[in-house]
């Protein structure tokens, strides 16, 4: 589906539904804030509202991922149909584990804060859970990294938006 189609659809929603869409898009793996903040700003929601709702929406899955990732991951390993997904997860975790093990909390915050594909709260929380990092510290790191990411994305998206006017 084309991003413009999604953006056009969201632009037609009521203000409440636009905010709800931003929250839901922020909670989707891979997309997270990287998709919800630009969409929210480009459909006319005030940048401060977009910032707050996207930030909070992206944090919604973090405690569940931190608590349940290992259990679900081990269960998925039992089924051949999930092998491609397991291989993808293994690859992403192995790729990012050395940096996170070395720097732990600072590494986790930085990893989550970088608004690039395969980084963010979902992947950062999964890696923290996989490494057995402390739940409370990991949740704080997710919140701080998500906050930094939301700031960068909101400023960048707003600058892009005003340059299109």
How large is the average pLDDT for residues 147-158? Answer: 97
Model confidence, pTM: 0.84
Query: CB within 8 A of 107, min separation 6: which ones?
Result: 99, 100, 101
C-alpha span between 58 and 23 (Å, rounded): 7
pLDDT single digits (tens) 20-75: 999 999 999 889 999 999 999 999 999 999 999 999 999 999 999 999 988 988 88
């Amino acid at each position: 589906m084309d991003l413009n189609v999604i953006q056009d659809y969201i632009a037609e929603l009521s203000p409440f539904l636009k905010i709800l869409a931003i929250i839901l898009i922020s909670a989707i793996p891979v997309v997270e804030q990287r998709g919800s903040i630009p969409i929210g700003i480009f459909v006319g929601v005030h940048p401060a509202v977009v910032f707050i709702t996207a930030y909070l929406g992206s944090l919604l899955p973090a405690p569940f991922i931190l608590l349940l990732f290992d259990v679900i991951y081990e269960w998925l390993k039992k089924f051949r149909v999930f092998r491609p997904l397991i291989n993808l997860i293994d690859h992403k975790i192995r790729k990012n584990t050395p940096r996170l093990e070395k720097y732990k909390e600072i590494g986790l915050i930085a990893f989550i804060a970088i608004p690039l594909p395969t980084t963010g709260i979902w992947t950062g929380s999964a890696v923290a859970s996989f490494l057995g990092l402390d739940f409370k510290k990991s949740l704080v790191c997710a919140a701080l990294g998500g906050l930094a990411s939301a700031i960068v994305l909101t400023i960048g998206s707003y600058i892009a938006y005003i340059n299109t006017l």
